Chain A
Amino acid sequence: MELKIEDLEFSYTADTPVLRDINLCITGPKFVSILGPNGVGKSTLIHCINKILEPTKGKVYIDGTDVSTITIKELAKIVGYVPYSANDTFPLSVVDTVLMGRHPYSSWKSLDNDLKIVYRTLRMLGITHLSMRPFNELSAGQHQKVMLARGLVQEPKILLLDEPTSNLDIRHQIAVTKLLRKLSEEQQILVIMISHDINIAAKYADEIIMLSGGTVYATGTPSEVITPENLQAVYEVEARVEDDGGRPHVILEDAVSMDEEEYYEDEPARV
């Protein structure tokens, strides 16, 4: 499949665009990681892909179809979404939480089939024993897996993940990232994940999209994108990049000092 983004711009307020001039063409199946500093618009970008937000300008095409021309229900069958964190006010059981991902397909008669798909997905993630537990009683790692399961039962061609490893310890970060890579290969889907950990992205991603200043700074393989120069320009850190079996590995040395004034200049207030 192909995800194409043309001249995308998004702004919360009229005068200051969060994202501008975004042009991307990603062909999958593949495991893509989006990198970039805080507030650069990583989440905004993936929200524009699955219509959680409407772009102010520009188009998003999936396999040639302009997403603005299809309903969010149709889009939900093509694009799965795993949020940064769950905030259900009234938590459901794990099964019901995951079943929600079957919503775009569901009809009054579809429960048997939906349950089958939910079961297979939970088994693949190794969490069938949690099925009947309330979602809010799970650990952070289990939460992530349940939310991942919900995205997967959408049977998407493209799976978007907003920092799925942010609440996890190192072991779980690696486990989830490896799993995503495996999913992209086995299920032949395009996995696009926002990541804060450059080294984990470097180790597992097929392609890196690096954002800076509200637009795409660099795209390519990890070795092409993760360079000392790019890290300096985008993150304002000094770093060495060493070769780790063909993949880059970042060793941080120092960061550009950040006095208060400069901090506020760089970080546009988020609405």
Chain B
Amino acid sequence: MKGLSETEFVTGYRHGNRRKLLFVLVCSVIAAVTFFISLFFGPSEISVQQCIDALMNHYGTVTDELADMVIWEIRIPEACMALITGVALAAGGAVMQTSLRNPLADPYIMGVSSGAYLGVAVFMAFGICVIPGLAQNYSIVINAFVVSLVPMTVILIASSRGKISSGKLILIGIAVMYIFSATTSLIKVLADEETLAEIYQWGVGSLSGQEWDEIGIALAVTTAGLFLLALQARNLDAVNGGPNIAKAVGVSVKFVILYSMTLVSLVTAGVVAFTGTIGFVGLVAPNIARLFVGNKMKYLIPASASFGAMFLIIADTIAKVVTPTGIPCGVVASVIGGPIFVIILMRQRKKALL
């Protein structure tokens, strides 16, 4: 078989990498375009022209107060939240999968989202907040945030007692998720009708009703978290090779797993505390991105993030187009994304890399 010359080898390698970056670029462009399209849809009846005017005039003279309010206080925040949530959950899922070496791992399965949900349910039903005396909005967020960190804490405690195996960590995550879900169900049973509706609403996940300062927090947490995770990209590749290989090339598996799992929990908690539980994107986006860019984390993290953002903003836009009153975007994401994912997996001939 014909070998490669050194030039062919280096250019071939770099060319392959450029193609991976192209995937990131395409997803980002589609996400950006969909972002603008999504601004024209929503429950408020505002014409396209009004939307455009509101966009153009915001920093000049606002002529149409209502349109300006709808665009800048409702639609843009919602679209921003869709992008941030997509990025956070998808990149978080990619890192969880690789560090635990399991394509099933994602923030939802590992109990982070169900923890957030329980935190919210506890506040809504009993008015109990981990930091008492806060305004209602903040109490919900704080509760969601704190309880969603519980699975990670349990994992930290379990792993400090000796050997850490990824299978065991996933089982712990799933067990915690079940405990949380069961407790939430119990609270729902006990709750009165009105509270039940509120808890339910939060549980299906929604990107609407975001305040700018909430978006600021979610953005800050996501950006900082992903930056710190990106620094671990090469170490995560080594961990993916298995514990022995990782150690043999000088990487501490335990450190990488704890570091990345903690950050993923923080990043996920930073968004689900505001949006409610949005499943699926954390599982699906990384797995689809893997088909296009392979498994090297340097490319997989940005690819998952951009795909996740694209996925959620499209789902949210579809949700608004189909029913102006708004079915939750999490529902659309699962209903449309699920079959697409199954089809892609079934049609995929080659394993993993394209």
- Interface contact A96-B234, CB-CB below 8 Å: no
Complex interface: chain A residues within 8 A of B1 (CB)? 129
- Interface contact A52-B244, CB-CB below 8 Å: yes
Residue A136 is within 8 A (CB to CB) of chain B in the complex: yes
Residue B347 is within 8 A (CB to CB) of chain A in the complex: no
- Interface contact A93-B353, CB-CB below 8 Å: yes
Residue A220 is within 8 A (CB to CB) of chain B in the complex: no
- Interface contact A103-B2, CB-CB below 8 Å: no
- Interface contact A103-B234, CB-CB below 8 Å: yes
Asked if A89 meets B249 with Cβ closer than 8 Å, knowing A128-B9, A131-B13, the reply is: no
Asked if A92 meets B296 with Cβ closer than 8 Å, knowing A128-B9, A134-B350, the reply is: yes
With most chain B CB atoms within 10 A of its CB, the pick from A96, A151, A154 is A96
Residue B251 is within 8 A (CB to CB) of chain A in the complex: yes
- Interface contact A116-B6, CB-CB below 8 Å: yes
Q: Mark A40-73, 1 if CB is under 8 A from B, else 0.
A: 0000000100111000000000000000000111
- Interface contact A90-B290, CB-CB below 8 Å: yes
Complex interface: chain A residues within 8 A of B252 (CB)? 72
A80 and B248 alpha carbons, distance in the complex (Å): 7
- Interface contact A131-B12, CB-CB below 8 Å: yes
With most chain B CB atoms within 10 A of its CB, the pick from A51, A100, A104 is A100
Residue A95 is within 8 A (CB to CB) of chain B in the complex: yes
Pick the contact of A129: B2, B249, B352, B353 (CB < 8 A).
B2
- Interface contact A90-B98, CB-CB below 8 Å: yes
Residue A39 is within 8 A (CB to CB) of chain B in the complex: no
- Interface contact A131-B9, CB-CB below 8 Å: yes
Q: Mark B315-335, 1 if CB is under 8 A from A, else 0.
A: 000000000000000000000
Tell me the chain A residues, 106-147 only, with Cβ under 8 Å from chain B: 106, 112, 115-116, 119, 122-123, 126, 128-129, 131-132, 134, 136-137
- Interface contact B9-A119, CB-CB below 8 Å: yes
Identify the closest chain A residue to B5 (Cβ): A128
With most chain B CB atoms within 10 A of its CB, the pick from A116, A128, A129 is A128
A71 and B255 alpha carbons, distance in the complex (Å): 13
- Interface contact B244-A92, CB-CB below 8 Å: no
Identify the closest chain B residue to A130 (Cβ): B1
Complex interface: chain B residues within 8 A of A100 (CB)? 237-238, 241, 245, 249
Complex interface: chain A residues within 8 A of B18 (CB)? none
Complex interface: chain A residues within 8 A of B245 (CB)? 81, 83, 86, 100, 150
Pick the contact of B16: A51, A81, A132, A136 (CB < 8 A).
A132
A264 and B97 alpha carbons, distance in the complex (Å): 38
Q: How many residues of B contact A (CB 8 A)?
A: 39
Pick the contact of A91: B10, B102, B235, B295 (CB < 8 A).
B295
Residue B294 is within 8 A (CB to CB) of chain A in the complex: yes
Residue B168 is within 8 A (CB to CB) of chain A in the complex: no
Complex interface: chain A residues within 8 A of B97 (CB)? 90
Complex interface: chain B residues within 8 A of A103 (CB)? 234-235, 238, 249-251
- Interface contact A72-B351, CB-CB below 8 Å: no
A119 and B6 alpha carbons, distance in the complex (Å): 7
Complex interface: chain B residues within 8 A of A243 (CB)? none
Q: In the complex, how many angstroms separate the beta carbon of A132 from the nearest chain B beta carbon?
A: 6
Complex interface: chain B residues within 8 A of A79 (CB)? 248
A154 and B250 alpha carbons, distance in the complex (Å): 10
A52 and B353 alpha carbons, distance in the complex (Å): 29
Residue A88 is within 8 A (CB to CB) of chain B in the complex: yes
A122 and B9 alpha carbons, distance in the complex (Å): 10
- Interface contact B244-A47, CB-CB below 8 Å: yes
Q: Mark B223-251, 1 if CB is under 8 A from A, else 0.
A: 00000000000110110111111011111
A100 and B294 alpha carbons, distance in the complex (Å): 15
Q: Mark A148-160, 1 if CB is under 8 A from B, else 0.
A: 0011001000000
Q: In the complex, how many angstroms separate the beta carbon of B250 from the nearest chain A beta carbon?
A: 3
Residue A87 is within 8 A (CB to CB) of chain B in the complex: yes
Residue B132 is within 8 A (CB to CB) of chain A in the complex: no
Identify the closest chain B residue to A271 (Cβ): B163
Asked if A83 meets B352 with Cβ closer than 8 Å, knowing A90-B290, A103-B250, A154-B249, the reply is: no
Residue B103 is within 8 A (CB to CB) of chain A in the complex: yes
Measuring CB to CB, which residues of chain B are less than 8 angstroms from any residue of chain A? 1-4, 6, 9-10, 12-13, 16, 97-98, 101-103, 234-235, 237-238, 240-245, 247-252, 290, 294-296, 350-353
10 further A-B contacts with Cβ under 8 Å, apart from A100-B249, A103-B234, A154-B249, are: A50-B247, A76-B249, A86-B242, A88-B240, A91-B353, A115-B13, A122-B9, A128-B9, A132-B12, A151-B248
Measuring CB to CB, which residues of chain A are less than 8 angstroms from any residue of chain B? 47, 50-52, 71-77, 79-81, 83, 86-93, 95-97, 100-101, 103-104, 106, 112, 115-116, 119, 122-123, 126, 128-129, 131-132, 134, 136-137, 150-151, 154
